Structures are given as C-alpha cells and as structure tokens.
Amino acid sequence: MTYTQKTGLSAEPGPPDKSESFRTALERSRRLCASREQCISDIKSKIEKWGLISGNEVQKIADQLVREGFIDEQRFAGAYANDKLHYNKWGRIKIAYNLRMKRISEAIIAEAVNNLDEEEYRETALKIVVSLLKARKGEDPRSRNARILRSMQGRGFEYELTRDLLRSDI
C-alpha cells in the first residue's frame, strides 16, 4: 500500500484541494447562470449573500464562470436591453443607466442599446405616447405635452424622440 492510499494525501505538489463550500458555491452559481443570463456583479453579490466563501474566492468563482462561458457580459447586456424594452417599456437612457449600475463597461452598454431594433423602439415609444395622450384628454396641450415629455424621460426615452412623436400626427 502506498503512502497516498494509506493517508489519502499526495506527496506530489498540485493544486490545493478546493473546500466543500467553494465547490458548493461554484455549483450553485453554475446552476444559476444556466437558468438565466447573469452579469459578474450580480453573481458576486449573490455568492456573497450566501455566505459560503470569502471575497477572494468569490472572485475566483466569477473568473471561472467567465472562462467556462457561464457568464458573458456582452450576451447579458444584449438580453437585458431587449428584455427591458419589451417587458418594462424602458428607453435607451434608462437601460444604459441600469447597466452602468451593474458595472458593465461603456463599450458593451453602447453596443447593447445601439443593437435594439429601431423600428420596435420607436413603435414602443409611440404606443406609450398615444396612451398618455388618451389619458390626458381635455388638458391644456402645452401642460399635457410637458407632462408626457417628463413621463417619457422618466422611462428613459430621449427628449428628441418624444418631442418628434408629439409633433407628428398621431
């Protein structure tokens, strides 16, 4: 019987055995990333919230997930932008702001918001403006338009786009 068989210890130097909590956090993170797109900052905060491992190991897990393709910030930003336009009816400004809060790089943010379908983007903005106009029937046109402009800016749509939509025959 060899030394390794008796003790379970290897005499050869190798990578240190990862702790059980590290493996648990890694597997949990993989499952989470496989179920839906995640960004690095979100996955790190979730791992830290679990309290299984320390900060240095959290970064190691994030790096490993990126290497394995579970996390791709560009893929995440594109999916995030499309989802927020379709489901939340957000404009480019609000989408970009929220991606910045998730610590996504400016180049990736610019690509994600610029890749939104322009026709669908304008159509979404138009539907919102039309519904706001219907809700504000009978108001003074100047104050109504000012309210609609503020509302659309709050949703993250560009001032110029909203102004153009209000000036067009809807």
Which token pair is 133? 């106009």
Place of tokens 């240095």: 56
Q: Quote the Cα angle for 78-88-154, to 5°.
A: 105
Structure tokens, 27 = 């597997």
* Residues across the chain: 170
The CA–CA distances, whole Å, from 56 to 44, 69, 111 equal 11, 20, 31
For 159-168, what is each residue's pLDDT tens digit? 999 999 999 8
pLDDT attached to residue 141? 87
- Nearest residue to 25 (alpha-carbon basis) of 68, 70, 61: 61
Give the residue-averaged pLDDT of 72-77.
97
Q: What is the dihedral of CA 148, 154, 158, 162, to 10 degrees?
A: -10
User: CA separation (Å) from 3 to 12, 15, 17, 18?
Assistant: 11, 19, 18, 21
Is residue 4 very low, low, confident or very high in pLDDT (cuts 50, 70, 90)?
very low
Predicted confidence (pLDDT) per residue in 133-151, tens digit: 999 888 888 999 999 999 9
Please check the confidence at residue 6 and state whether its pLDDT lies above 90.
no
- Return d(Cα 54, Cα 156) in angstroms, integer: 37
Cα separation, 58 vs 86, in Å, equals: 33
Give the rounded percent of residues in the chain with a pLDDT score beyond 90: 78
pLDDT of amino acid 15: 41
Q: How far is the C-alpha of 75 from the C-alpha of 36, rounded, in Å?
A: 11
